[in-house]
């Protein structure tokens, strides 16, 4: 699915990712943990193609394609999804309209016809219900005046409607209350299948109780310093980054 080799990235001359390797296969869930400023969000932006990042070295293969050559929207329509750490507000654009536009962009890219209005309404309703998002919410402008947690839920709604092949969740759990955390996790688990993959960025082992990862990676200063299975998250919780990084 995704194969990152020796990735070096800088922004405005500042080196942020310094030789990162990561390989994610179909059907796997990987968790990425690491201290503030270690380059987690940067990695998610580079994967989704945000400009201003300079790729100094390395390759990224995505389903046999050179990911770095694809435009942002091409990557998205090829099934790469980023749930943002800080979702954007878009004033004047109704949330439901945004969802419809996103779905139809993808369908257009895949050479399919637009989704029928009724079919769309049904899909949105059922997915929103699963995530406990009210229909009133969907009539409001996208993310405008949404609470922090509501924004995160909105990201997951978009994800479940677009059913991506490779989803990156950047600190989706931060800001969610206990119930919302459970609901969102259930949403993610529902989506999980043998064909898609997830990269879950988080600071808290608690999320991984709900979304059981196949692998856990620890990133520090732009490199993956340690990888393991779920037990690594527990160990991290106990020892903290400092000690774990030293034992790496």
Partner 1 sequence: MAATDQTIKQVNTLGSSDYKYGFSTEVDEIRPPKGLNEEIIKFISAQKDEPEWMLEWRLNAFKVFNKLPKPQWAKLNIPEIDYQDCYYYSIPKSLKDKPKSLDEIDPEILKTYEKLGIPLKEQKMLSGIAVDAVFDSVSVATTYKKQLSDLGIIFCSISEAVKTHPELVKKYLGSVIPVSDHSFAALNSAVFTDGSFIYIPEGVRCPVELSTYFRINAMNTGQFERTLIIADKDSYVSYLEGCTAPMRDENQLHAANVELVALDNAEIKYSTVQNWYPGDKEGKGGIYNFVTKRGACRGKNSKISWTQVETGSAITWKYPSCILQGDNSKGEFYSVAITNNMQQADTGTKMIHIGKNTSSKIISKGISAGKANNTYRGLVNILSKAKNARNFTQCDSLLIGNQCGAHTVPYIESSNSDSMVEHEATTSKINEDQLFYCQQRGLNSEDAVGLIVNGFCKEVLQHLPMEFAVEAQKLVAISLEGSVG
Ligand X SMILES: Nc1ncnc2c1ncn2[C@@H]1O[C@H](COP(=O)(O)OP(=O)(O)OP(=O)(O)O)[C@@H](O)[C@H]1O
Q: Is 241 in the site for partner 1 (CB under 8 A)?
A: no
Dig out the tokens for 72 from the structure: 């942002």
E-strand ranges in the chain read 2-11, 14-24, 29-33, 53-62, 65-66, 80-83, 90-94, 141-142, 166-170, 197-201, 215-220, 223-228
Q: Which residues between 38 and 67 bind Mg ion (CB under 5 A)? A: 40-41
Q: Is 63 in the site for partner 1 (CB under 8 A)?
A: no
10 Å Cβ neighbour count for 10? 16
Which CA distances in Å does 152 have to 58, 87, 113, 130, 176? Answer: 31, 7, 30, 14, 7
Exposure string over 149-180, b if 16+ CB within 10 A, otherwise e: bbbbbbbbbbbbbbebbbbbbbbbbbbbeeeb
Q: Which is nearer to partner 1, 88 or 118 (CB)?
A: 88
Q: For the chain, give percent helix, strand, coil, nearest 5.
A: 40, 30, 30
Say how many residues touch Mg ion, by CB under 5 A.
3
Q: Is 202 in the site for Mg ion (CB under 5 A)?
A: no
For ligand X, the binding residue among 2, 16, 183, 233 (CB under 6 A) is 16
Least Å from the CB of residue 243 to partner 1: 36
Q: Which is nearer to Mg ion, 84 or 124 (CB)?
A: 84
Q: Which is nearer to ligand X, 163 or 174 (CB)?
A: 174
For ligand X, the binding residue among 7, 29, 31, 41 (CB under 6 A) is 41
Q: Which residues between 120 and 159 bind partner 1 (CB under 8 A)? A: 141, 158
Q: Is 191 in the site for partner 1 (CB under 8 A)?
A: no
Question: In 3-state terms, what secondary structure has residue 173?
Answer: coil
The whole-angstrom separation of Cα 155 and Cα 174 is 13
For ligand X, the binding residue among 38, 77, 197, 202 (CB under 6 A) is 38
Range in contact with Mg ion (rule: CB under 5 A) among 6-14, 15-23, 81-89, 176-184: 81-89
Q: Is 40 in the site for ligand X (CB under 6 A)?
A: yes
Q: Which residues between 76 and 105 bind ligand X (CB under 6 A)? A: 85
Residue whose token pair is 């949105």: 124
Residues that bind ligand X (CB under 6 A): 11-12, 14, 16, 34, 36-42, 85
Residues that bind partner 1 (CB under 8 A): 48-51, 71-73, 75-77, 81-82, 84, 87-93, 98, 101-102, 105-106, 109, 141, 158, 162
């Amino acid at each position: 699915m995704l194969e990152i080799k020796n990735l070096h990235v800088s922004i405005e001359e500042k080196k942020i990712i310094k030789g990162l390797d990561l390989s994610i296969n179909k059907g796997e869930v990987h968790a990425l943990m690491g201290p503030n400023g270690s380059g987690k969000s940067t990695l998610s932006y580079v994967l989704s193609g945000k400009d201003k990042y300079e790729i100094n070295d390395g390759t990224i293969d995505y389903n046999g394609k050179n990911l770095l050559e694809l435009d942002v929207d091409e990557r998205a329509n090829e099934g790469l999804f980023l749930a943002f750490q800080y979702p954007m507000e878009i004033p004047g654009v109704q949330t439901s309209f945004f969802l419809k536009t996103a779905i139809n962009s993808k369908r257009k890219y895949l050479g399919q016809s637009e989704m029928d209005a009724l079919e769309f309404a049904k899909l949105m309703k059922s997915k929103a219900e699963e995530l406990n998002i009210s229909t009133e919410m969907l009539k409001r402008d996208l993310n405008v005046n949404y609470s922090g947690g509501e924004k995160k839920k909105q990201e997951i709604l978009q994800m479940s409607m677009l059913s991506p092949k490779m989803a990156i969740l950047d600190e989706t759990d931060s800001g969610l209350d206990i119930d919302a955390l459970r609901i969102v996790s259930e949403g993610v688990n529902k989506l999980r299948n043998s064909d898609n993959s997830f990269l879950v960025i988080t600071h808290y082992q608690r999320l991984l109780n709900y979304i059981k990862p196949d692998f856990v990676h620890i990133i520090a200063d732009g490199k993956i310093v340690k990888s393991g299975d779920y037990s690594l998250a527990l160990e991290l919780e106990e020892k903290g980054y400092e000690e774990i990084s030293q034992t790496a």
